[in-house]
């Protein structure tokens, strides 16, 4: 008997020989197997044992496999159900799959394929259970904290959020594009005493420089050409809540000075007015730049840097937390399967490719890749052929060559994507799951322009 248990499987079949053969095969494959002759017996087993997957016959005396499936779907929706029957018809296959069954086999099955499907089903159930445990743990501590991770560095970030959430101190979140900096900012706000007040996010890189000041501070009627009516700025709009300045390093020095005064004095002046207005907001900022270096180069005010960097949270890139990839992939897969009304799994080879890939676009790119695969996949499993070219095994072996540095891997990914898009930079940025600004920065850094 194998020491390692690959999962607990319940076999439901009124044919004792069929149960005996399948039980022997699965037991030899490292599974703990439970047997039931009919549905009532199966209901008792599934209620008393921690079953990972059910394999059930369709036609049985009394209640049949489809009736058991309806019961299991209502009572244990996280347990995958695989049908195995000698009475296979197109109609019965469609009925089970469209109602959410995991897979459908005709007796006698291809046992190699059955074991492969079973392994994926068990893994899917375990991932769902792990995700649910994480959500339960996080919700018990802070209801809105939806950071999915099991890696020590991210768990430390969650602890930091818990420690400073109710403070009024400014927080600076640093990290590469696509690492989830805004998610952390929202978690910080939602879990705090300010959670019932507005969370106002401003992308400093997306707003034209000539408009950013009026966006933040507001303006009076007639303050400039086109100012036909008074407008409340983001700092006033966030009263009692939080302002998230994404890519704060994009602010001009003159605006940095005005922001510093607002933080120090807790008051602002709208454009076109000299009346001071008291404001109450917590500032959370983010950047993918090295602000310390920019302070030394005179591109960012030193006094503002220390004002916004009271609490520093550095978010690691996805390539440094590959252990989170299965959890994140399962979450995104579930999200897009629900949206597209599909039931799809991820092949083990795909997960291996995911964990070895450098992810220049980080979590945003992972989400983009899975969305694309769910939309385009023809079968019930995402395989390497459903991924963009850079994930194909041959390409990936080239990308993973031992003499290549991380920078070389990223250069290769950017160059290949740009080539596939026929030089269209906007399309290439979307495929990589990063912003156009971040993509142009990589082009400059890698001298690919």
Report d(CA 400, CA 434) in Å as an integer: 22
Same fold, 7-124 and 142-316: yes
Question: Can you tell me which residue has the tokens 């799809």?
Answer: 344
Q: What fold is seen in the domain 7-124?
A: Rossmann fold (3.40.50)
Walk along the chain (449 residues) and give the pLDDT tens digit of each residue.
345 678 899 999 988 888 899 999 999 888 999 999 999 999 999 988 889 999 998 888 888 888 898 888 888 888 899 988 776 555 665 666 666 788 888 878 888 888 989 998 888 888 777 766 665 555 554 444 568 888 899 999 999 999 999 999 999 999 999 999 999 999 999 999 998 899 999 999 888 888 899 999 999 888 887 778 888 899 999 989 999 999 999 999 999 999 999 999 999 999 988 899 999 999 999 999 999 999 999 999 999 999 999 999 999 999 999 889 998 998 899 888 888 878 788 988 899 899 889 999 999 999 999 999 999 998 888 998 899 888 865 544 444 444 455 566 677 777 877 777 777 787 777 777 777 777 777 787 777 76
The answer to whether 310 and 170 have CB atoms below 8 angstroms apart is: yes
Question: Judging by beta carbons within 10 Å of its beta carbon (0-12, 13-18, 19+), is residue 192 exposed, middle or buried?
Answer: buried
**How many residues are given for the chain?**
449
Beta partners for 202? Answer: 245
- Please give the pLDDT value at position 400: 46
Question: Which architecture characterizes domain 319-445 according to CATH?
Answer: Orthogonal Bundle (1.10)
Which of these, 68, 306, 205, 13, lies nearest to 23 by C-alpha position? Answer: 13
- Please give the pLDDT value at position 90: 54
CATH class of 142-316: alpha beta
Consecutive H or E run containing 11: strand 7-12
Buried residues in 76-106 as b, exposed as e (16+ CB within 10 A): eeebbbbbbbeeeeeebbebbeeeebbbbbe
- Please give the pLDDT value at position 399: 46
Provide the token pair at 207: 């707003």
Report d(CA 51, CA 422) in Å as an integer: 50
Where do the DSSP E strands lie in 175-253?
199-203, 218-219, 231-232, 242-246
Domain edges within the chain: 7-124, 142-316, 319-445
Q: Tell me phi and psi for residue 350, to 5 degrees.
A: -65, -45
- Please give the pLDDT value at position 70: 86
């Amino acid at each position: 008997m194998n020491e390692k248990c690959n999962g607990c499987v319940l076999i439901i079949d009124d044919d004792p020989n069929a149960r005996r053969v399948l039980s022997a095969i699965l037991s030899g494959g490292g599974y703990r197997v439970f047997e039931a002759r009919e549905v009532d017996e199966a209901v008792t087993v599934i209620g008393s044992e921690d079953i990972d997957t059910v394999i059930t016959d369709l036609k049985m005396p009394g209640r049949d496999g489809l009736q058991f499936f309806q019961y299991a779907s209502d009572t244990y929706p996280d347990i995958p159900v695989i049908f195995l029957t000698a009475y296979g018809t197109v109609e019965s296959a469609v009925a089970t799959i469209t109602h959410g069954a995991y897979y459908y086999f005709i007796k006698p099955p291809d046992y190699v394929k059955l074991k492969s499907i079973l392994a994926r089903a068990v893994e899917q159930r375990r991932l769902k259970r792990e995700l649910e445990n994480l959500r339960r743990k996080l919700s018990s501590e802070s209801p809105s904290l939806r950071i999915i991770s099991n890696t020590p560095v991210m768990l430390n970030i969650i602890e930091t959020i818990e420690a400073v959430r109710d403070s009024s101190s400014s927080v600076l979140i640093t990290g590469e594009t696509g690492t989830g900096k805004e998610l952390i900012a929202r978690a910080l706000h939602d879990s705090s005493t300010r959670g019932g007040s507005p969370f106002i996010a401003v992308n400093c890189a997306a707003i034209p420089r000539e408009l950013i000041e009026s966006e933040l501070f507001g303006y009076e009627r007639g303050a400039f050409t086109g100012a036909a009516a008074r407008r409340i700025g983001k700092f006033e709009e966030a009263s009692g809540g939080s302002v998230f300045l994404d890519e704060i390093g994009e602010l001009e020095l003159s605006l940095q000075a005005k922001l510093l005064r607002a933080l120090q004095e807790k008051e602002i002046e709208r454009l076109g007015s000299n009346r001071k207005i008291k404001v109450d907001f917590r500032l959370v900022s983010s950047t993918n730049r090295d602000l310390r270096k920019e302070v030394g180069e005179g591109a960012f005010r030193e006094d503002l840097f220390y004002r916004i960097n009271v609490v520093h949270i550095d978010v690691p890139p996805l390539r440094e937390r590959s252990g989170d990839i299965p959890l994140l992939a399962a979450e995104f897969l579930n999200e897009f399967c629900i949206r597209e009304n599909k039931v799809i799994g991820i092949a083990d080879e795909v997960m291996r490719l995911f964990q070895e890939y450098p992810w220049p676009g980080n979590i945003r790119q992972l989400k983009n890749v899975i969305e694309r695969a769910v939309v385009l996949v023809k079968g019930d499993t995402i395989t390497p052929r459903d991924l963009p070219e850079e994930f194909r095994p041959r390409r990936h072996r080239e990308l993973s060559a031992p003499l290549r540095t991380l920078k070389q891997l990223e250069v290769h990914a950017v160059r290949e994507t740009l080539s596939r898009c026929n030089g269209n930079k906007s399309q290439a940025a979307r495929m990589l799951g990063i912003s156009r600004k971040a993509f142009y920065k990589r082009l400059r850094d890698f001298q690919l322009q």
